[in-house]
Amino acid sequence: MQKVKRVVIASALGIIFGFVSWAICKFGMGHTQPVSIDLVIILFNGLLGFTIGISSLRGHWVLHGLVLGGIFGVVLGFMAAGTGSQFIWPFIFGLIYGFLIELITTVAFKAGVSTA
Within a domain: 114: no
SS (H, E, C) the chain: CHHHHHHHHHHHHHHHHHHHHHHHHHHHCCCCCCHHHHHHHHHHHHHHHHHHHHCCCCCCHHHHHHHHHHHHHHHHHHHHHHCCCCCHHHHHHHHHHHHHHHHHHHHHCCCCCCCC
Q: What is the pLDDT of residues 83-111, one digit of tens each?
A: 888 899 999 999 999 999 999 999 999 99
User: Which residues constitute the domain of residue 54?
Assistant: 2-108
Cα 59 to Cα 56, 62, 115: the distances in Å are 9, 8, 11
- With a CB cutoff of 8 Å and minimum separation 6, the contacts of 8 are 53
Q: How many domains does the chain have?
A: 1
Cα 40 to Cα 5, 33, 72, 110: the distances in Å are 25, 11, 12, 29
User: For residue 58, what pLDDT is reported?
Assistant: 84
Kindly report whether the global pTM for this prediction surpasses the value 0.75.
yes
User: For residue 56, what pLDDT is reported?
Assistant: 83
Within a domain: 115: no
Low pLDDT (below 50) residues in the chain: none
Within a domain: 116: no
